[in-house]
Amino acid sequence: AKVYYWTLKSKNKEWFSSESEMRGLRNHYLSCCVNTLLQTLNATWELADLLEKWKPAGVRAEDNVPFQLKRVLKMMQEDLPHPAPHQDFLHCLDRNRIRLSTQHDADEVFLTILDFIQRQMDDRTLAIEIQSLYKISVETQVQCLECNNVQTRNSHLLSLPLHIKEDRNSLKDCMISFFEQQELRGIDCCFCAQCEAKTPTKQGVKLCSLPQILCIQLKRFRNIRGFTRKLNCSVTFPEKFNFSELRREAFSSDFTQNDCRYTLYAVVVHYGDAMFGHYTAYVRQRLSNRWFYADDSHVSQSSWENVQKTEGSPYRGTAYMLMYRKDPKEDDQLPDLSG
**248 touches 204 (CB < 8 A):** no
Told to judge if 28 belongs to the known catalytic residues of this protein, a careful annotator would answer no
Catalytic residue among 86, 104, 270, 278: 278
The crossing angle, in degrees rounded to 10, of helices 124-134 and 45-53 is 170
Catalytic residue among 28, 32, 82, 298: 32
Residues catalogued as catalytic: 32, 278
